[in-house]
Amino acid sequence: MMKIVFMGTPEFSVPILEGLYNHHEILAVVTQPDKPVGRKQALIPSPVKAWALNKKIQLFQPKKIKEDYDLIKNLNPELIVSAAYGQFVGMELLNHPIHRSINVHASLLPKYRGGAPIQEAIKAGDTETGVSIIYMEKKMDAGDILATQKILIEDNDTGETLFHKLSLLGRDLVLKVIDDIEHGRVTTIPQDDSKVTFAYNITKEQERIDFSKSAKEVRDHVRAYYPNPGTYTFIAGDLCKILHCEIVIRHHDEEPGSIIEIMKDRFIVACGNQSCLAILTIQPQGKKPMPVRDYLNGNGKEILKKVRRVGE
């Protein structure tokens, strides 16, 4: 049994933390400070914090862990395990445990270093991705690889479903790696810097749909960002999230973004390369997500007939 300090923040991290808790001694959990959410800016704890509080495990939420880490050092962990923590950690702390510090990263490194590897893999149309366990270094996601495991990206996978699959994969793989560390079976592979790509945190502009791309590219974009942060376009000047869509086998000569047809439960939008996309679920500004059927039964049909184009 290893004495571990765990660092993580989102829902992705929770199954990994729980797996470690069931097999090792968790000395403390480190997570990001609570963030204000919504109009009232209520402080919401991270999923990792909620889990740790429920288990009554010591919790630490430094604003800047590069400056505030003595508490962790004083616990003398044998290993630090990080999974989507969200802050850079200084080398003095990373090298403090006898077995150093490792990170569970949701891509096949050196591909997609950064904070949004899962979304980027789907958006890029990749057919496979995976998990990498690496030693943590000063440079982001650049450490030597201890283990990797691949998984197929199914055509119906979204950011949500792939997060869950890779979290469970990461849980099982990191437990195997820790067992190898305990028994002196560790082998590492340096990353090939010539093959490095990045998947930085998603910006608001990246969430906007570009209908000049092919229908497949737009659909991959929508499912990659579902449910968070989501993708959007503009309808009659109002921001509208697109939550579900599907490719339509149909050619056209319309400008991208043009509304080709309005049906009972969907509307068809022209995309690039003479391809088409059916919009199935949307979230108009200030409203809850709804099937397009409900939107059209309201005033949506008249709006679409009037504008004849989305994205403006």
C-alpha triplet 229, 232, 233: angle, nearest 5°: 170
Q: What is the pLDDT of residue 251?
A: 85
For residues 215 and 255, the answer to whether their CB atoms sit within 8 Å is no
Q: What is the pLDDT of residue 170?
A: 98
For residues 3 and 24, the answer to whether their CB atoms sit within 8 Å is yes
Question: Where in the sequence of the chain do the CATH 3.40.50.170 domains occur?
Answer: 3-195
Q: Does domain 3-195 have CATH number 3.40.50.170?
A: yes
CA distances from 192 to 85, 99, 107, 108 (A): 24, 24, 14, 12
Contacts (Cβ under 8 Å, ≥6 apart) of 287: none
Question: Where in the sequence of the chain do the CATH 3.10.25.10 domains occur?
Answer: 205-307
Each residue's pLDDT tens digit, 14-50: 999 999 999 999 999 999 999 877 777 788 899 999 9
pTM given for the model: 0.94
Residue range 205-307 forms a domain whose CATH class is alpha beta
C-alpha triplet 85, 43, 102: angle, nearest 5°: 10
Each residue's pLDDT tens digit, 266-309: 999 999 999 999 999 999 999 999 999 999 999 999 999 999 99
